[in-house]
Amino acid sequence: MTHPSLGLPPSSLTTGFPEAADRLRTQGRRLATRAVEVAANEDPTYADRIGEAGLRNLLEDARVFIDRLALCVAGDDSHWLREFADQTATVYRRRGISLDDVIKLFEGIRASVRSVLTAEELAPADAALDASIEVFRFHRRLAGDARKRNPIIAAIYKGG
């Protein structure tokens, strides 16, 4: 992370692939729809667990994530998506959506942007998606994530 007060140059949105970022932004709705479809096709229980309202929310969230991914591709820096993922992890916990499901959404975004980006432009996109998935995996291990618990561990904690 660059910081001007430390003598480092500020982040630039032209060091990467600004044209590719424009393509991501203009086709954001189509890519977000495809990402949710890929995530739902990967797991047959995905749509049932999240519900129709949750899928609509994930569709809008995917558009925002794709906008952040466009910043990462334009600046060749994964900071924008990684930090945004760190800030939104608690929102999914509050909504009762497992971070594993959000990770599936990110894998759907990875699959959908392959139709828009070239192989060279995919490198910063993959790096940003990988960094964000690592953030979600870190937050997934914290208590309160809406995922299936080990029944033996749950019985031990209940005390009976």
pLDDT by residue, tens only, the chain of 160 residues? 566 677 767 777 888 899 999 999 999 999 999 999 999 999 889 888 888 999 999 999 999 999 999 999 999 999 999 999 999 998 988 888 889 899 999 999 999 999 999 999 999 999 999 999 999 999 887 755 656 667 787 778 776 5
Q: Report the Cα–Cα distance between both ends of the chain, in Å, rounded.
A: 49
Q: Name the pTM for this structure.
A: 0.84
Q: How far apart are CA 79 and CA 66, in angstroms?
A: 14
Residue 118 CA: distances (Å) to CA of 35, 83, 102, 129: 18, 25, 25, 16
Question: What is the structure's pLDDT at 150?
Answer: 74
Question: What is the structure's pLDDT at 6?
Answer: 72
Residue 12 CA: distances (Å) to CA of 76, 77, 92: 9, 9, 30
3-state secondary structure of 1: coil
Q: How far apart are CA 31 and CA 112, in angstroms?
A: 6
